[in-house]
Amino acid sequence: MAISLRYGSYFYGDCQVGTERKERGVGSVEVLGGKNEFKGRQIVVKNQSSSDGWNPKDHSHCSIHASICLPRAMKWWEKSIVPNMTEITSSDHLVESLATAGDKLVIVDFYSPGCGGCKALHPKICQLAESNPDAIFLKVNYEEHKSMCHGLRIHVLPFFRLYRGAHGRVCSFSCTNATVKKLKDAMAKHGTERCSLGPAKGLEKEELLVLAPNRGARFNRPPALSSI
C-alpha cells in the first residue's frame, strides 16, 4: 500500500482519502496533521484493521510511502514581469546590459525585498515597462548586491537611474508610489527619438574602477570611450 500527498490532497493507493478517513476494501488509512499545506508539520499515518480482520501489521511486505509537492509562491518582485524587464545578477551583468543597450532608454531600478515603498511601486513599474516596450528596465536587488550598490552610491530606496546611449546617465533620483510622476516625466523627456553618436556609455569610468575590485570583475569599454 502507498500513500502519496500532493498539493495538500491525500491519496491511498488510487483513491483520494482527504484529511480524514476512507474505507477501501481491506482496510483504512487515517492521515493527520494537514490543512491543504505542509510546512514542517509532522504527518501521522495510522493503520487500522477492517471489519474482516485484515491488519497491515500482519503483512511485513506492506510499505507506506509519503511525499509532498508544493508550488513555490512567487515573491512580489517576481510578479507581473514583462519581457523588457531583467533581473541583474552581477556587476558584469549590469555593465554588459548597459553597454549593449544601444540607443534605447535604460531604467535601472534599485529595490529591496523588505522595502515597503519598493513593493508598493512595483506594479506601476511593471505597467510602465509594458507601455514602453522599447525601453529596457534593469532591476537590482539591493540585498543581493550590496557591494555593487555601495560602489554606485545607492543609499536610499527605491532609487532609479536612467541611461541613454552615448550620453550615459541622464538622470537619477528616488521616487515612491506617490511621486511616480517624476519617473514618468523623466522617461518622457529622455525617451524621445534621438541619434546618439557613438556606442552606449553606461557607467562612468570611476564607477567601473570601484566595482571591479569589489567583485573581481574586469570590465572592458569600447576603444572609442577608453579616454572618457
Please identify every residue annotated as catalytic.
115, 118
Cell output for 36:
491543504
DSSP 8-state secondary structure symbol assigned to residue 163: E
- CA of 101: how far to CAs of 16, 70, 167, 192, in Å? 54, 38, 12, 15
In angstroms, the CA 132 to CA 161 distance is 16
Burial 51-77 (b: 16+ CB within 10 A, else e): eeeeebeeeeeeeeeeebeeeeeeeeb
Instruction: Please report the DSSP string for 100-156 in residue order.
Output: T-TTSEEEEEEE-TT-HHHHHHHHHHHHHHHH-TTSEEEEEETTT-HHHHHHTT--S
With H, G, I as helix, E, B as strand and everything else as coil, classify residue 167: helix
Cell output for 108:
535601472
